[in-house]
Chain A
Amino acid sequence: EYPESYKDNTNKEKLILAYVENYRRQYVHLFRDRKPLFLNPLNECGIEKFVCTTLRPTLLSYKALYHWQGCAEFVADYLTMKQLEPPQELPMCLFSPSTILKRQLGNCFDFSNILCSLLLGAGYDAYVVSGYATKEICLADESRQICPLLQPKKEVLKEAEKPEPRKYTVKPPRDLRSKFIIKMEARRKKEAEEEEKKKQQEEEERIAELEKPPPDALYGLRIHAWVLVRGGKREVPEDFFIEPFTGQSYPPSSPSFLGIESVWNSTNYWANMQNCASGCKDMSFDLMDTEKWEYMLAGSDQTQIEIPDAEEELYDLDDDEKENEDEKHLDMPATWVLPICVTKNQYEMRCPQGKKTTLYKKAKLEKYANYLLKDGLVTRLSVYDNNELTDLKRVQESFENREDKLTTRVHQGGLITEDFVEGRPRSLQQHVYKASNPGPEAERTMTFFHKARNKLRVDGLCKREETPTEMTEHFVNRDDFLFLRHVLFGKRQKKVAPATAEGPPRPILKITEKFHRNDALSASKDVEEQIFIIHEDKIQITYHREDPNITASTRDFYKPPNAEEKGGSLQWSNDMTNTFQVNPHGSPAKNLAIYENLLQLIQTEQKSIQAVRSSEEEVKEILMDRQKEELASELAISVYDTERNEKAKKHRKELERLAMEEKLRRQEMEMDYLAPFLAQIGNPDKISKTQAFKLKEDCLADLKQRLIDKANLIQLRFEKETSELHKRQQDYQQKQVAMTKEDEEQYFNYCSEAMFRIHILELRLNRHKQMAPHKYMQLEQKLRQDPRLSVYF
Chain B
Amino acid sequence: MSRLYDTVEPSVIDDEMLRKAVEEQGPKEEAGKIAKQEGVDYCDVLSLRLDFRNILKVDNLWQFTKLTKLQMDNNIIEKIEGMDALVNLRWLDMSFNNIEMIEGLDKLTKLEDLTLFNNRITRLENMDSLPNLHVLSVGNNKIDQLDNLIYLRRFPNLRTLNLTGNPVCDDQGYKLFAVAYLSHLVYLDFRLIDEDTRQKAHSLYENKLGELMHNEKQAEVAIEAEKKAAQELLKHKDAYVEHLNSSVLFESMYKEDPEGMKLALLPGLQDMLKDFQDKFVEVCMKIFEFGMKEYEKRCKEMREFNTCIQDAEAANKKQAVTVIDAFEEYKKKLFTELLVTSDAEVQERKMNEYHEGVNETWDKLMGLEMQLVDQLEETIKDFERNMTDLMSQLVEYIQGLITQVRDLENSHNEKLLEMCMTVLEKVVKNEMDEELPDDLRMLFVDKDTIVNAIGASHDVHLIKIDNREDEIVTRSGAWLSGHMQKIHADECARNRARVVEITNYIDHLRDEIDTQFMP
Stretch in B27-35, B98-106, B157-165 touching the partner: B27-35
A592-B497 contact given A166-B307, A572-B33, CB 8 Å threshold: no
Residue contact A592 to B31, C-beta cutoff 8 Å: yes
CA distance A583 to B504 in the complex (A): 8
Residues of chain B contacted by A551 (CB below 8 angstroms): 324, 501-502, 504-505
A582-B501 contact given A168-B305, A550-B324, CB 8 Å threshold: yes
CB of B197, distance to nearest CB on chain A (Å): 37
- B188-206 CB contact bits vs A (8 Å, 1 = yes)? 0000000000000000000
CB of B296, distance to nearest CB on chain A (Å): 16
Which one of B308, B371, B515 lies within 8 Å of A169 (CB-CB)? B308
Residue contact A584 to B33, C-beta cutoff 8 Å: no
Residue contact A170 to B312, C-beta cutoff 8 Å: yes
Closest A residue to B507 using CB positions: A584
Stretch in B247-255, B375-383, B441-449 touching the partner: B375-383
B84 proximal to A (CB < 8 A): no
Residues of chain B contacted by A169 (CB below 8 angstroms): 308, 311-312, 379
A550-B304 contact given A571-B30, A572-B34, A595-B31, CB 8 Å threshold: no
Residues of chain B contacted by A569 (CB below 8 angstroms): 29-30
Residues of chain A contacted by B41 (CB below 8 angstroms): 590
Which one of A168, A173, A545, A591 lies within 8 Å of B308 (CB-CB)? A168
Residue contact B379 to A548, C-beta cutoff 8 Å: no
10 A-B residue pairs with Cβ-Cβ distance under 8 Å, sorted by A, are A170-B378, A549-B501, A551-B501, A551-B502, A572-B30, A583-B501, A590-B44, A592-B40, A595-B31, A596-B31
Residue contact A167 to B304, C-beta cutoff 8 Å: yes
Residue contact A168 to B383, C-beta cutoff 8 Å: yes
Residue contact B501 to A167, C-beta cutoff 8 Å: no
Given contact pairs A548-B497, A596-B31, a sample of 17 additional A-B residue pairs in the complex whose CB atoms are under 8 Å apart: A166-B308, A167-B308, A168-B309, A168-B383, A169-B308, A171-B375, A171-B378, A548-B317, A548-B498, A550-B320, A550-B321, A551-B505, A569-B29, A571-B30, A580-B505, A592-B34, A592-B40
- A538-549 CB contact bits vs B (8 Å, 1 = yes)? 000000010011
CB of A512, distance to nearest CB on chain B (Å): 12
Closest A residue to B36 using CB positions: A592
A700 proximal to B (CB < 8 A): no
Task: Report the 9 A-B pairs with minimum CB-CB distance, sorted nearest first.
Answer: A170-B375, A168-B308, A550-B320, A170-B312, A551-B505, A584-B504, A569-B30, A168-B305, A580-B508
Closest A residue to B372 using CB positions: A170
B38 proximal to A (CB < 8 A): yes
A137 proximal to B (CB < 8 A): no
A570-B30 contact given A168-B382, A591-B37, CB 8 Å threshold: yes
A550-B498 contact given A168-B383, A571-B30, CB 8 Å threshold: yes
Max count, chain B CB within 10 A of own CB: residue among A550, A578, A599: A550
B313 proximal to A (CB < 8 A): yes
- For window 680-727 of A, CB contacts with B under 8 Å fall at none
B365 proximal to A (CB < 8 A): yes
B494 proximal to A (CB < 8 A): yes
- A149-171 CB contact bits vs B (8 Å, 1 = yes)? 00000000000000000111111
Residue contact A592 to B38, C-beta cutoff 8 Å: yes
Residues of chain A contacted by B504 (CB below 8 angstroms): 551, 582, 584
Which one of A173, A548, A571 lies within 8 Å of B494 (CB-CB)? A548
Residues of A within 8 A of B (CB): 166-171, 173, 545, 548-551, 569-572, 578, 580, 582-584, 590-592, 595-596, 599
Which one of A166, A173, A570, A591 lies within 8 Å of B371 (CB-CB)? A173
Residue contact A550 to B383, C-beta cutoff 8 Å: no
CB of B343, distance to nearest CB on chain A (Å): 22
B326 proximal to A (CB < 8 A): no
CB of B360, distance to nearest CB on chain A (Å): 16
CA distance A551 to B497 in the complex (A): 12
B229 proximal to A (CB < 8 A): no
Residues of chain B contacted by A599 (CB below 8 angstroms): 31
Residues of chain A contacted by B44 (CB below 8 angstroms): 590
Residues of chain B contacted by A583 (CB below 8 angstroms): 501
Closest B residue to A531 using CB positions: B332
Closest A residue to B33 using CB positions: A572
CB of A538, distance to nearest CB on chain B (Å): 12
CB of B155, distance to nearest CB on chain A (Å): 24
B428 proximal to A (CB < 8 A): no
CA distance A171 to B375 in the complex (A): 6
Closest A residue to B386 using CB positions: A167
Residues of B within 8 A of A (CB): 27, 29-31, 33-35, 37-38, 40-41, 44, 301, 304-305, 307-309, 311-313, 317, 320-321, 324, 365, 371-372, 375-376, 378-379, 382-383, 494, 497-498, 500-502, 504-505, 508, 512, 515
CA distance A570 to B501 in the complex (A): 35
A interface secondary structure, majority: loop
Residues of chain A contacted by B376 (CB below 8 angstroms): 170
B interface secondary structure, majority: helix
Residues of chain A contacted by B30 (CB below 8 angstroms): 569-572, 595
CA distance A571 to B304 in the complex (A): 57
Residues of chain A contacted by B317 (CB below 8 angstroms): 548, 550
Residues of chain A contacted by B29 (CB below 8 angstroms): 569
A168-B38 contact given A548-B317, A582-B501, CB 8 Å threshold: no
CA distance A170 to B311 in the complex (A): 9
CB of B80, distance to nearest CB on chain A (Å): 31
Residue contact A584 to B500, C-beta cutoff 8 Å: yes
Residue contact B31 to A550, C-beta cutoff 8 Å: no
Closest A residue to B370 using CB positions: A173
Max count, chain B CB within 10 A of own CB: residue among A169, A170, A570: A170
Closest A residue to B311 using CB positions: A169
Residue contact A548 to B313, C-beta cutoff 8 Å: yes
CA distance A550 to B378 in the complex (A): 23
CA distance A591 to B31 in the complex (A): 9
Residues of chain B contacted by A173 (CB below 8 angstroms): 371, 375
CB of A567, distance to nearest CB on chain B (Å): 12
CA distance A287 to B243 in the complex (A): 79
CB of B116, distance to nearest CB on chain A (Å): 31
CA distance A599 to B30 in the complex (A): 11
Residue contact A545 to B371, C-beta cutoff 8 Å: no
Residues of chain B contacted by A571 (CB below 8 angstroms): 30
Residues of chain A contacted by B515 (CB below 8 angstroms): 578
CA distance A65 to B34 in the complex (A): 80
Residues of chain B contacted by A167 (CB below 8 angstroms): 301, 304-305, 308
CB of B340, distance to nearest CB on chain A (Å): 13
Residue contact B379 to A170, C-beta cutoff 8 Å: yes
Residues of chain A contacted by B27 (CB below 8 angstroms): 592, 596
Residues of chain A contacted by B494 (CB below 8 angstroms): 548
Residues of chain A contacted by B324 (CB below 8 angstroms): 550-551
Closest B residue to A547 using CB positions: B317
Residues of chain A contacted by B379 (CB below 8 angstroms): 168-170
CA distance A569 to B508 in the complex (A): 32
CA distance A299 to B505 in the complex (A): 93
CB of A577, distance to nearest CB on chain B (Å): 12
CB of A449, distance to nearest CB on chain B (Å): 32
CB of B494, distance to nearest CB on chain A (Å): 7
Residues of chain A contacted by B500 (CB below 8 angstroms): 584
Residue contact B308 to A595, C-beta cutoff 8 Å: no
Closest A residue to B320 using CB positions: A550
CB of A581, distance to nearest CB on chain B (Å): 8
CA distance A22 to B365 in the complex (A): 95
Residues of chain B contacted by A170 (CB below 8 angstroms): 308-309, 312, 372, 375-376, 378-379
CA distance A578 to B324 in the complex (A): 19
CA distance A688 to B272 in the complex (A): 130
CA distance A168 to B376 in the complex (A): 9
Residues of chain A contacted by B372 (CB below 8 angstroms): 170
CA distance A173 to B364 in the complex (A): 14
CB of B45, distance to nearest CB on chain A (Å): 11
CB of A582, distance to nearest CB on chain B (Å): 6
CB of A198, distance to nearest CB on chain B (Å): 39
Closest A residue to B371 using CB positions: A173
Residues of chain A contacted by B35 (CB below 8 angstroms): 592
CA distance A580 to B509 in the complex (A): 9
